[in-house]
Amino acid sequence: MRRTVRFLLNDREFSLEGFDPTLTLLDWLRNERRLVGTKEGCAEGDCGACTVLIGRLRNRELRYEAINACIRFVATLDACHIVTVEHLKKASGGLHPVQQAMVELHGSQCGFCTPGIVMSLTALWLGAAQAPSRERIEEALAGNLCRCTGYGPIISALDRAYEIEASSADSLNVGRAEVARKLAGLADREVIEISEGGRRLFAPATADQFAELTAAHPDATLVAGATDVGLWITKMLMRPATVIALGRIGELDRIEDKGDHLVIGALVSVSDARAALGGLDPQIDELIRRFGSEQVRNAGTIGGNVANGSPIGDSPPVLIALGASVILRRGSERRTVPLEQFFIAYKKQDRQPGDFVEALIVPKPRPGTLFHVSKISKRFDEDISAVCAAFRLERDEAGLTTNAVLAFGGMAATPKRAAAAEAALAGRAFDAQAAEAAALALASDFKPLDDWRASARYRSTVAANLIRRFQAETATGSVHRVAGILRSDAHA
Amino acid sequence: MHKPVFAANRDQVTGGVYQSTRHDSGHKHVAGEALYIDDMPEPAGLLHAALGLSHCAHGLIKEIDLSAVKDSPGVELVLTAADIPGVNDISPSNHHDDPVFAEGKVMFWGQPIFAVIARTRNEARLAAAKARITYEELPAVLDIAAARKNGQDFVAEPMSLNRGDLDAAMAAAPRRIKRSMNLGGQEHFYLESHIALAVPGEDGDVTVYSSTQHPSEIQHAVAHVLGVPSNAITCEIRRMGGGFGGKETQGNIFAAIAALAARRTGQAVKLRPDRDDDMVATGKRHDFVIDYEVGFDDEGHILAVDILFAARCGFSADLSGPVTDRALFHADNAYFYPAVRLNAQPWRTHTVSNTAFRGFGGPQGVVGAERLIEEVAYATGKDPLEIRKLNFYGGPGRDLTPYHQTVEADLSAEIIAKLEESSDYQARRAEIRAENLRENARGGPFRRGIALTPVKFGISFTNSWQNQAGALVNVYTDGSVSVNHGGTEMGQGLYIKVAQVVAQAFQIDLDMVKITPTTTAKVPNTSPTAASSGTDLNGMAALNACNNIKERMIAYAVEKHGVPADQVEFLPGRVRVGNREIEWPDFVKEVYSNRIQLSSSGFYRTPDIHWDRKAGRGRAFYYYSYGAAASEVTIDTLTGEYRVERVDILHDVGSSLNPAIDIGQIEGGFVQGMGWLTTEELWWDDKGRLRTHAPSTYKIPVASDRPRIFNIELLNKPNHMPSIHRSKAVGEPPLVLPISVLHALSDAVASIGDYKIFPDLDAPATPERVLFAVEAMRARVRERNGSHG
């Protein structure tokens, strides 16, 4: 047992013990380190003013990712390199190319969102040798709200940054090997326990340690990226007595390709899962691109998105459509539950105290399978679904439907299949009449809610239209989207 | 000793007016070194405050049990209305209806009832959540429809504008349309939420650092609440992380509570509400129901206009009087109405008190005007742009506004003509319509739309007395200069523009001009930085101060060197006195040594304006700013989703003091206005609780919402009025430009009915509203083609 969390902050090493186990990184930076360049705009991971970089060793390679400091717990940052905006300036006092470009192109007005935007752009700049496309920049900025500029000069600034000087001069690249060496030195296999005032956080290093801890503390709050649990602390003012963090468990942070299916560990971030899941279909890739924001995808996990059982999570409908199951582990026992059966009622899952989601099994669609994924939200990027739909349809040689899975989020208290609509498609050709029958049958599958995201009528209308769209796309052999990377140029 | 360079370039100063100088804080913003109030070094012993908010929209407070709050760890003090030594009112408009803490009765869900002061902010927040307050609920009137039904009162005296015999003109009009539209409100979503830091001083004095657009208002409100004279209170603000009108009056409550707590504890107190509390407890842009009747002829000439602007004002007056006034002032937009009647209804509701927001009711007025144009266009089967051109103001007989001001130097026609050409509007419109009709035939899912809308925006506070400003300019003996004025910096570039004016005046480089935080101790009795007037007023006041100093310098040179005044010339980095050129710092030293004052205040009041609100007559505005935008969208008729494909803007900022800053204002204002009219939706539940109270639920535009193609040009034509270096105001007018996006969405919806049916699209045009407009259009088409049933 280790009672300290050890990490690098900019150019200093820290070893902290005995502090609030759910202390957020943002509060620590601002209140205790007085590093006030990192701002609080919303304290819920939506505005990006608190964006910092987290460097971690992955397969011995040091990788930096942007995350929201406002909903990340300091206690979960063992063996990480935390980089704040104060670290970007060169030793000479000169601005980093990204900073310089932002100044030159008038990329700041009130300036409050600016440090966060600089960090998001810097993450992109570090990870790409050449200026990324406008779409990629917009994707990376989806989690950075700016109320002043209209974003134009910010998007242009990244192009300009690449003209300013080679990346070798930047402070993060200069000390890279040294940082990697230090981080490697900090990693160990001890369970970390951080406690204060009777509350504690455990950060085990192995899955077995984790299983032991969850069995011993069945009421503990389990946390991976804290993109949901972080809000319990900052918004609901909850103060859980025991938290167990998965963040150090490398063996859960793996994706295995088993030929006809993928096994995705519970700690795989949404960003990392994108490559594997997105490779199954461009529509899945687009869905994941629109999952939260880059900062949220870098911290949040597919496992967590499933485990928290939200009716509006973005991943469950598509995972259900793919026929995914979840591996639940308690102690050394494991059981596999089809995902659609895992969601029992609103925020209630087939997960007993002591159970944890260890991995997801995701079958790959067979060749010839028809597939459709749509996320409908008020705003295209960084929004929560009004309706999320994922459809999979298999047909026999005669073209008759043998298996139809129509999975929806936002339509009921859980992510759910549309049984009546599926039945309407079964055993017949997938033509406009069949789609119409399924669209009409939806009315008996769902009685959605009115809320601030959408009215029940809108949800019902759109859900039905998406089935019509699926059929039209099948008939035309093209994907119909008004925005995003799937948008065809036919109407551009 | 290091000798500063006052003009690196001897031909022209660096950073004078008309130059695209970078924002003065740009290099600090990007480095995280620009200090906002929460970033300032904290005084020792600093305490933190959190608010206790009501959980009832309208009710009598039966019991307040704060024992658990007081017992919570770290708590030092709990404050309620009973603790206020002065008056429990911070109304910015003398209506005495805006308590700091609710007393006896709550008027909206989220109204502050108490504050808790603790050692840390987290302790204060945790403690505040432990209050037990019970209410006797009263019927809550939440929106305009309910207010009308319940016969609620108005929060302020409504304005009425009348010209011509409206009833006769309407009756005589060959055609008439009467309808209504809903127009949503808007949350400011400044990235920096409200904050106040109060530091107690001697003799009961308090210095308040407040994120405010109106330091003098903070000073007065705090003084009233504490029961002390204004000279005991100092308010200072270096910069805000955005304001947009949301910090014109809404900072009062935070400043007052922090100051009260500082006085009570003798320690510095900071109050920074959580984003959710900020969004729930502070006012927003007013939502409106616009009831209109328009009379017109077959060509599309507007003959008579009758509009009623009903606004949801919330529980108190705040600025709702002048906001609803301004809706009427802009209900003509760029158009001449031969006979007109405009009325406002500022309804009291049991919701948060709505307030200033960039445009201040003006944008809502323009939405009304453009709605009439759209109606007449569909009724006559013409391009809305044609109707616009038919109805522009135009010389004698067609140049009187509904408030009887003569429109001079109207740029609408010129701007529209240029933009129509540069945006290739006509060809694109024809192509879009042809493609849409093909899509109708083919049954494809997408439709495109295009619209070109103008804006004419009146510049001046309509409270005429507010059109004044002060400044203080100091020239130090080494030649460096500092400037202070009553305007506040919220990102709009006011500080840099005023500094450019000062650099230009003295002919020294901009980096020799120090910009200093706005404080009531240096420049008193200031107007809010609002109404787009910041540069117009403060730039002139600063120039006046510079000119005072220059006049003294010239008088000195005339007397000492025996040259005529016209032979004393300020050149870059030097002063020419007769045949001699003296370096600026040497000249300054010489003037100082001869006991000439090198510091001056400056003052400016806008000339020529007068306004009689009761009569509805006067010259309310010093001049108008103009602009126009052409927007193109694509909609998805199966989901209502859309994308803004292209926007072209031509905007009038007079002779631009700083083109880069001005373009930034236009671009940002456009995107902000686009958010208002598209994805930004405020949603209250039936208990009166705002459910879109954070960015997770309230959706402002993100990077990918920016139009795919976005062209912005400045007209760059000198202001016909003698404004500061002939520039024009830029803050608010661009927010009105994205009405073109709303109308482009309408245009796309209309294609479903072959452009023969009015699309009747309300705002915000969320994907849901667009889809339902499409569905309604399809239903009308089915009705029309009965056979297809």
Q: What would the pLDDT profile of B426-480 be if each residue is shown by its tens digit?
A: 999 999 999 999 999 999 999 999 999 999 999 999 998 999 999 999 999 999 9
Residues A380 and A455 occupy one common structural domain: yes
The alpha carbon of residue A327 is apart from the nearest alpha carbon of chain B, in Å, by 30
Q: With left for phi above 0 and alpha for psi between -120 and 50, is residue B94 left, alpha or beta?
A: left
Q: How far is CA B444 from CA B34, B753, B757, in A?
A: 51, 14, 20
Interface with B, mutate which of A53, A110, A474 (most B CBs under 10 A)? A110
Task: Work out the mean pLDDT of chain B and round it to a whole number.
Answer: 97
Burial of A350 (C-beta count, 10 Å sphere; 0-12/13-18/19+): middle
The alpha carbon of residue A261 is apart from the nearest alpha carbon of chain B, in Å, by 32
Structural domain count of chain A: 4
Q: What would the pLDDT profile of A135-161 be if each residue is shown by its tens digit?
A: 999 999 999 999 999 999 999 999 999
Residues A25 and A121 occupy one common structural domain: no
Indicate the angle between helix axes A114-127 and A152-164, nearest 10 degrees. 50
User: Is residue B239 assigned to a domain?
Assistant: no
Give the pLDDT of residue B248. Answer: 98
DSSP A44-63: SSSS-TTEEEEEEEETTEEE
- Whether A49 and B191 lie within 8 Å, measured CB to CB: yes
Whether chain A has a CB inside 8 Å of the CB on B428: the answer is: no
Chain B residue nearest residue A463, CA to CA: B639
- What is the edge-to-edge ordering of all strands in the sheet holding A192-196? A192-196, A199-203, A242-245, A221-223
Residues B474 and B495 occupy one common structural domain: yes
Q: Name B659's Cβ contacts closer than 8 Å, sequence gap at least 6.
A: B18, B20, B714, B716
Nearest to B706 among A41, A148, A150 (CB): A150
Residues A327 and A393 occupy one common structural domain: no
User: Is residue A212 assigned to a domain?
Assistant: yes
Q: Of B605, B630, B649, which marks where a domain is finished? A: B605
Whether chain A has a CB inside 8 Å of the CB on B694: the answer is: yes
Phi and psi, residue B280, nearest 5°? -80, -35
The one-letter code for the residue type at B412 is S
User: Is residue A454 assigned to a domain?
Assistant: yes
Residues B647 and B593 occupy one common structural domain: no
Percent of chain A, pLDDT > 90? 90
Phi and psi, residue A372, nearest 5°? -150, 135
What is the pLDDT confidence band of residue A455, given thresholds at 50, 70 and 90?
very high
Q: Which two tokens stand for residue A387?
A: 């309706």
* Other Cβ atoms closer than 10 A to B715: 21
Residues B684 and B781 occupy one common structural domain: yes
The alpha carbon of residue A49 is apart from the nearest alpha carbon of chain B, in Å, by 8
Residues B615 and B491 occupy one common structural domain: no
Q: Name A411's Cβ contacts closer than 8 Å, sequence gap at least 6.
A: A387, A418, A445, A446, A448, A459, A463
Rounded Cα gap, residues A40 and A112, in angstroms: 9
Residues A65 and A181 occupy one common structural domain: yes
Chain B residue nearest residue A148, CA to CA: B668
Residues A456 and A396 occupy one common structural domain: yes
Residues A307 and A375 occupy one common structural domain: no
User: Is residue B308 assigned to a domain?
Assistant: no
User: Is residue B235 assigned to a domain?
Assistant: no
CATH number reported for the structural domain that contains residue A356 in this entry: 3.30.465.10
User: Is residue A92 assigned to a domain?
Assistant: no
Question: Which strand (E) or helix (H) includes residue A81?
Answer: strand A81-83
- DSSP class of residue A28? I
DSSP A96-107: PHHHHHHHHTT-
User: Is residue B252 assigned to a domain?
Assistant: no
Residues A203 and A336 occupy one common structural domain: no
pLDDT over threshold 70, residue A178: yes
User: Is residue B787 assigned to a domain?
Assistant: yes
Residues B579 and B456 occupy one common structural domain: no
- Chain B positions in Cβ-Cβ contact with residue A86 (cut-off 8 Å): 31-32
CATH number reported for the structural domain that contains residue A124 in this entry: 1.10.150.120
Q: Which two tokens stand for residue A212?
A: 């032991």
Bridge-based pairing state of the strands B233-237 and B206-210: parallel
Nearest to B242 among A110, A118, A472 (CB): A110
| Annotation marks residue B370 as catalytic | no
pLDDT over threshold 70, residue A486: yes
Q: Of B573, B605, B637, which marks where a domain is finished? A: B605
DSSP 3-state assignment of B509?
A: coil
Report how many Cβ contacts below 8 Å link chain A to chain B.
271
- Whether A103 and B275 lie within 8 Å, measured CB to CB: no
CATH number reported for the structural domain that contains residue A466 in this entry: 3.30.390.50
Q: What would the pLDDT profile of B196-234 be if each residue is shown by its tens digit?
A: 999 999 999 999 999 999 999 999 999 999 999 999 999
Q: What would the pLDDT profile of A206-223 be if each residue is shown by its tens digit?
A: 999 999 999 999 999 999
Chain A residue nearest residue B275, CA to CA: A42
The one-letter code for the residue type at A258 is K
Give the pLDDT of residue A491. Answer: 42
Q: What would the pLDDT profile of A88-100 be if each residue is shown by its tens digit?
A: 987 778 899 999 9
Q: Give the domain range for residue B576.
A: 26-34+468-605
Residues B564 and B497 occupy one common structural domain: yes
Question: Which residue of the set B76, B293, B375, B732 is catalytic?
Answer: B732
What does the radius of gyration of chain A's CA atoms come to, in whole angstroms? Answer: 23
User: Is residue B84 assigned to a domain?
Assistant: no
Q: Name A213's Cβ contacts closer than 8 Å, sequence gap at least 6.
A: A191, A202, A204, A220, A244
Residues A285 and A354 occupy one common structural domain: yes
Q: Name B293's Cβ contacts closer than 8 Å, sequence gap at least 6.
A: B170, B176, B177, B178, B304, B305, B306, B307
pLDDT over threshold 80, residue A363: yes
CATH number reported for the structural domain that contains residue B763 in this entry: 3.30.365.10
DSSP 3-state assignment of B527?
A: coil
- Whether B30 and A38 lie within 8 Å, measured CB to CB: no
- Whether A85 and B31 lie within 8 Å, measured CB to CB: yes
Interface with B, mutate which of A10, A27, A148, A286 (most B CBs under 10 A)? A148
Q: Of A169, A188, A214, which marks where a domain is finished? A: A169
Rounded Cα gap, residues B694 and B280, in angstroms: 9
Rounded Cα gap, residues A201 and A222, in angstroms: 10
Please state the rounded mean pLDDT for residues A408-422: 96
Structural domain count of chain B: 2
- Whether A144 and B767 lie within 8 Å, measured CB to CB: no
- Chain A positions in Cβ-Cβ contact with residue B240 (cut-off 8 Å): 110
Residues of chain B with pLDDT under 50: 789
User: Is residue A483 assigned to a domain?
Assistant: no
What's the start-to-end Cα distance of chain B, in Å? 91
User: Is residue B740 assigned to a domain?
Assistant: yes
Q: Of A304, A333, A363, which marks where a domain is finished? A: A363
Residues A408 and A462 occupy one common structural domain: yes
- Whether A37 and B239 lie within 8 Å, measured CB to CB: no
Give the pLDDT of residue B750. Answer: 98
User: Is residue B769 assigned to a domain?
Assistant: yes
Whether chain A has a CB inside 8 Å of the CB on B38: the answer is: yes
Give the pLDDT of residue A490. Answer: 42
Question: Which strand (E) or helix (H) includes residue B374?
Answer: helix B362-380
Give the pLDDT of residue B787. Answer: 56
Residues A439 and A469 occupy one common structural domain: yes
Q: Of A212, A229, A245, which marks where a domain is finished? A: A245
Residues B752 and B788 occupy one common structural domain: yes
Whether chain A has a CB inside 8 Å of the CB on B706: the answer is: yes
- Whether B695 and A384 lie within 8 Å, measured CB to CB: no
Whether chain A has a CB inside 8 Å of the CB on B696: the answer is: yes
- Chain A positions in Cβ-Cβ contact with residue B705 (cut-off 8 Å): 379-381
Rounded Cα gap, residues B663 and B710, in angstroms: 12
Rounded Cα gap, residues B277 and B51, in angstroms: 8
Residues B538 and B552 occupy one common structural domain: yes
Residues B741 and B710 occupy one common structural domain: yes
Q: How far is CA B157 from CA B154, B317, B465, in A?
A: 7, 10, 19
Q: Give the domain range for residue A432.
A: 370-476
- Chain A positions in Cβ-Cβ contact with residue B670 (cut-off 8 Å): 150
What is the pLDDT confidence band of residue A167, given thresholds at 50, 70 and 90?
low
- Whether B492 and A39 lie within 8 Å, measured CB to CB: no
Whether chain A has a CB inside 8 Å of the CB on B491: the answer is: yes
Q: What would the pLDDT profile of B625-653 be if each residue is shown by its tens digit?
A: 999 999 999 999 999 999 999 999 999 99
**Residue among A430, A9, A410 at smallest CA distance from A182:** A9
- Which segments of A310-431 does DSSP mark as H helices, in order? 315-322, 339-342, 419-425
Q: Which two tokens stand for residue A239?
A: 């103060």
CATH number reported for the structural domain that contains residue A82 in this entry: 3.10.20.30
Residues B615 and B575 occupy one common structural domain: no
Residues B533 and B497 occupy one common structural domain: yes
- DSSP class of residue B37? G
- Whether A112 and B661 lie within 8 Å, measured CB to CB: no
Nearest to B697 among A111, A452, A466 (CB): A452
Nearest to B703 among A43, A142, A491 (CB): A142
User: Is residue A491 assigned to a domain?
Assistant: no
CA angle (A20, A24, A25) in 5-degree steps: 120
User: Is residue A471 assigned to a domain?
Assistant: yes
User: Is residue A208 assigned to a domain?
Assistant: yes
Phi and psi, residue B453, nearest 5°? -125, 145
Residues A240 and A331 occupy one common structural domain: no
What does the radius of gyration of chain B's CA atoms come to, in whole angstroms? Answer: 28
Residues B533 and B443 occupy one common structural domain: no
Chain A residue nearest residue B643, CA to CA: A483
User: Is residue A374 assigned to a domain?
Assistant: yes
Query: Are B339 and B304 spatial neighbours (Cβ–Cβ below 8 Å)?
Result: yes
- Chain A positions in Cβ-Cβ contact with residue B770 (cut-off 8 Å): none
Residues A286 and A312 occupy one common structural domain: yes
Considering only residues 731 to 770 of chain B, which have any Cβ-Cβ distance to chain A shorter than 8 Å?
Answer: 766-768
